Amino acid sequence: MLRCWQGSQLSHSNFTPHIESQIREAYLAIHACGVMHGDVGAHNIIISPDGQCVWIIDFEAGQVLSDEYKDEAIRGEMEDLSCMFEDLRMGKRSQYVF
């Protein structure tokens, strides 16, 4: 699906507890579909102009998970997400936040 969007890339300046919650919920929904995004990073998260919605973009590294590896893969991706959140809170650049 191709969609036109307006918003800005996730960054230290627009990261809030509400945005963190929205991102976590989006990843949980993705994982509930049996999909792993495969490229956790601020560069793949767009925040709506009003700061109320998030879009997870760029699924080129994503994959449908087999039951055999699903839990391990999701756990790893959620750990990456937690690291990204910590880097954003600390105002730090990293592999997740450029």
Domains present along the chain, CATH in parentheses = 8-90 (1.10.510.10)
Query: Which residue numbers in the chain have pLDDT < 50?
Result: none
Q: What's the pTM value of the predicted model, to 2 decimals?
A: 0.91
Which pLDDT value is given to residue 82? 97
Which pLDDT value is given to residue 4? 65
97: left (phi over 0), alpha (psi -120 to 50) or beta: beta
Which pLDDT value is given to residue 2? 56
Which pLDDT value is given to residue 3? 63
- The CA–CA distances, whole Å, from 82 to 21, 24, 42, 75 equal 11, 9, 12, 11
- Phi/psi for 89 (5° steps) reads -65, -35
Which pLDDT value is given to residue 69? 87
